[in-house]
Structure 1
Amino acid sequence: MSSPSYPDHLLTLDEWVALPDHENHHVEVCEGVLVVAPAPGAAHDHAEMVLAMQLDRELPDDLCVLGGVEVLVSENPLTVRVPDVIVVDRALVDADPDRAPIAEVRLVVEITVPGTARTDRVTKFSEYAEAGVPQYWIVDLDGPPVVAVFTLDDGWYRYDGEHTGTTALKAAGHDITLELPGLAPAPVKPAEPSPR
């Protein structure tokens, strides 16, 4: 039985691009170090899709909402993140780059799952702030969906509160309404007992 092969040095962008597909894992690079996690699962994927569709419906046509897109945070040392949802200008989508430059990202949303909370709340929080991303949202699905909202203020994120239910927010400079309960799959109703 052969053992997996791991890089013995910090990855470059060319090496990252040459990696094989990794459909069953969530793979990123942090300061040249390959970071591999299990795929997040169906509940996470549902929330990502619903949130992206809600944002897309609410935002003007000159903005695009993307999910699962590589974002180049830094080339040296290499940091590539794959946020759950980002908002960018339509011009970037029309240009169709291989990955979104962090300077072009107006909003990043990460949906936490077991094993990613510390990365989302500490590591990515500081990376996105230092890179100048204007807004960062962290969605927690442990219970009724909650979104923590952060806005860049003088080089660091200001906490703008946690929101649940149907909530009015600003996203990429625009007023929007999110239906956060829609991020969680509808509860399965117990089957009615059959009459005897």
Structure 2
Amino acid sequence: MTQTTQQLTFEEYLSYDDGTDIRYEWVDGELYPMTPATRQHGRIIFYLARLLAGEIQRLGQAWELGLGDVGVQTTERRVRIPDLCVLTLEQAQVIENIAAILTTPPLLVVEIVSPESIRRDYRTKRSEYAAVGIPEYWIVDLLAQKSSILQLEEGFYDVYEFTGQASLVSPTFAELTLRPDQILRGI
């Protein structure tokens, strides 16, 4: 992923439009283009979105999903765009008619690892998401054929890795039955 060399303020980032469909994360004033997803990547996002939307409805929660269209401000000079996030109704209302950048932590974020995002998803975003207090962070790793659920405890993430047909354990969706092999196939 190649960043721009142009320095932007947060306000400039919020209104930035280069006339393309490219999404950008904002890191220390620079734009980092998000690599377009593979078809498998997209299939996993939509599979998880359908599953989580159904679970949100079943639980009767006033939560909404962001599908790569909601940013999370992780520091004064950084905005990350997770592949999927679960936000409260209040958060959704705040960003209804403005740039969709959360300044409060969503309930859960999901990142699908791609070859160019390994370090960013496992290290950089992990520390940033923990610092802003995101209680649950899922990492779906197609390359390693595993899914990890990170739970925030006293400012740090405890990591629980799942492979094959082992059932994932999510604090946010405690009754959800989901296996890594299902996620990785997107079915």
Q: Secondary structure at the match of 2:43?
A: helix
Does the 8 Å contact 1:136/1:151 carry over to 2?
A: yes
Q: For residues 167 and 26 of structure 1, what CA distance do their matches in structure 2 show?
A: 33
Q: Which deviates further from its counterpart, 35-44 or 174-183?
A: 174-183
Tell me the SS of whatever aligns to 1:34: strand
Using the alignment, how far apart are the partners of 1:36 and 1:118 within structure 2?
16
Aligned residue pair count:
177
* Corresponding residue for residue 89 of structure 1: 88
Runs of 5+ consecutive residues of structure 1 not aligned to the other structure: 1-5, 187-196
CA distance in 2 between counterparts of 1:81 and 1:47 reads 19
Matched, 1:130 2:140: no
| Corresponding residue for residue 44 of structure 2 | 47
Q: Which residue of 1 aligns with 2:26?
A: 29
- Give how far 1:105 is off: 0.3
CA contact 2:74–2:129 (8 Å) conserved in 1: no
Structural RMSD (CA): 2.4
- How far the C-alpha of 1:120 sits from its partner, in A, is 0.2
TM value normalised by structure 1: 0.78
Larger radius of gyration: 1
Identity rate of aligned residues, in percent?
25
- Greater per-residue strand proportion: 1
Code of the aligned partner of 1:83: P
Q: 1:140, CA displacement in angstroms? A: 1.0
Change (3 A) 1:72 1:159: closer
| 3-state SS, counterpart of residue 115 of structure 2 | coil
Decide whether the 8 Å contact of 2:74 with 2:128 is kept in 1.
Answer: no
| CA distances 1:132-160 after superposition (whole Å, capped 9, x unpaired) | 1001110012365x211110011111112
Secondary structure (helix, strand or coil) at the match of 2:175 reads strand
Aligned partner letter, 1:65? L
Q: Residue deviations 1:154-184, cap 9 Å, x none? A: 1111112324436242242643122543434
Structure 1 window deviating more from structure 2 (123-132 vs 173-182): it is 173-182
In terms of mean alpha carbon deviation, does 29-38 or 169-178 score higher? 169-178
Aligned counterparts, 1:1-196, within 5 A: 6-9=4-7, 11-20=8-17, 21-23=19-21, 25-59=22-56, 60=59, 61-74=61-74, 76-77=76-77, 79-95=78-94, 96=96, 97-142=98-143, 144=145, 146-165=146-165, 167-172=167-172, 174-185=174-185
